[in-house]
């Protein structure tokens, strides 16, 4: 699905327009690459709720965004605030959300794991402690979401 009819696009639809023209509980894998950061905070809530609706139980979504501590997250004027970071995904976990943030209107339930892409030209040691506190060392945050 994309808002533009490229080769390989089966459904031409703007993901910001809810509902998506996809049956509930019908999608096993979603890959979203460099899209989520273009949505406002409220559009992200709608996106994840709709993603949850269309995915099958135990389905996977892989979502890649610029890392919050990379200048790419801020350089594009079409990126929305706040930048996407690992905390974005804690709110998608129903158990965590009910305990820590019941005011947020998600109705989804995803468990997240993370992968990061490093800038291999960086002179900083790429261990977790150094990378997460240095600017531009991590290029992308990749979240793997499993529908509960």
Domains identified in the chain, total number: 1
In a domain, 5, yes or no: no
In a domain, 21, yes or no: no
In a domain, 123, yes or no: yes
Q: For residue range 6-65, list pLDDT tens digits in order.
A: 999 999 999 999 999 999 999 999 999 999 999 999 999 999 999 999 999 999 999 999
In a domain, 80, yes or no: yes
Around 46, how many Cα atoms within 13 Å sit in the side-chain half-sphere?
A: 12
Q: What is the residue range of 64's domain?
A: 27-147
Q: Determine the pLDDT at residue 122.
A: 62
| Beta bridge partner(s), residue 113 | 144
In a domain, 9, yes or no: no
Q: Determine the pLDDT at residue 117.
A: 77
Distance CA 119, CA 106 (A): 33
Distance CA 106, CA 48 (A): 8
Q: For residue range 91-148, list pLDDT tens digits in order.
A: 999 999 999 999 999 999 999 999 877 776 765 555 555 555 677 788 899 999 999 9
In a domain, 135, yes or no: yes
In a domain, 125, yes or no: yes
In a domain, 78, yes or no: yes
Write the CATH number for 101. 3.40.50.150
């Amino acid at each position: 699905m994309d808002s533009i009819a490229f080769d390989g696009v089966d459904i031409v639809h703007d993901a910001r327009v809810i509902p998506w023209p996809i049956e509930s509980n019908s999608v096993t894998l979603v890959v979203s690459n460099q899209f989520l950061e273009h949505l406002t905070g409220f559009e992200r809530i709608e996106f994840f709720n709709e993603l949850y609706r269309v995915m099958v139980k135990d389905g996977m979504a892989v979502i890649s965004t610029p890392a919050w501590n990379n200048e790419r997250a801020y350089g594009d004027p079409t990126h929305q605030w706040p930048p996407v970071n690992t905390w974005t995904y804690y709110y998608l976990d129903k158990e965590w959300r009910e305990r820590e943030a019941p005011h947020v209107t998600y109705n989804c339930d995803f468990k997240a794991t993370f992968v990061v892409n490093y800038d291999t030209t960086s002179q900083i040691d790429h261990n977790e402690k150094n990378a997460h506190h240095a600017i531009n060392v991590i290029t992308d945050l990749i979240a793997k979401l499993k529908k509960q």
